[in-house]
Amino acid sequence: MKRGRTTWQKKKVAEVIEGFDHSFRVEDVHEKVKEEGIGIATIYRYLSALRKERQINHFMCDGRALYSKNKIQHTHFNCVECGTSIHIQEVELPLGKITGGKVESFQLEIRGICKNCLPATSSE
């Protein structure tokens, strides 16, 4: 990976990221390194470089950036009636066939009426 010179700050941030086995936010990384004087801007720059090199994936969740070392999907169902947001673990879509390319990750937001609100809406 070509990321400019390797500083102790980059090494520490890389160690923290390597320790995550799930998706994470910039704030999660910052919480683990702030005592060592590493600023949040340093983390953003490092994650930006990783994204450009396709070493990390980036999604938006609840209006905030979410990162993952794994090539994953990120799918939510959002109820337009009550505002409930449900994370959907796995969605199988033939995106490679549709796009003609190789899909590495995707983010999908589905809006509708959840099962709890559906009976109330049907009776109107």
| 81-118 pLDDT, tens digit each | 998 888 777 767 777 778 888 777 677 788 899 999 98
Cut 0.85: pTM above it: no
Considering only CA atoms, which of 8, 10, 86 is closest in space to residue 48?
A: 10
Do 60 and 72 contact (CB within 8 A), yes or no? no
pLDDT bracket for residue 72 (50, 70, 90): low
Which residues does 88 contact at the CB level (< 8 Å), separation at least 6?
75, 76, 77, 110
Domain 8-68 carries which CATH code?
Answer: 1.10.10.10
Q: Where in the chain is the domain with CATH 3.30.1490.190?
A: 73-122
Q: Where in the chain is the domain with CATH 1.10.10.10?
A: 8-68
Q: Domain spanning 73-122: which superfamily?
A: Ferric-uptake regulator, C-terminal dimerisarion domain (3.30.1490.190)
Position 118 scores a pLDDT of 85
The DSSP symbol for 80 reads T
| 21-54 pLDDT, tens digit each | 888 999 999 999 999 999 999 999 999 999 899 8
Calpha distance 83→118 (Å, rounded)? 13
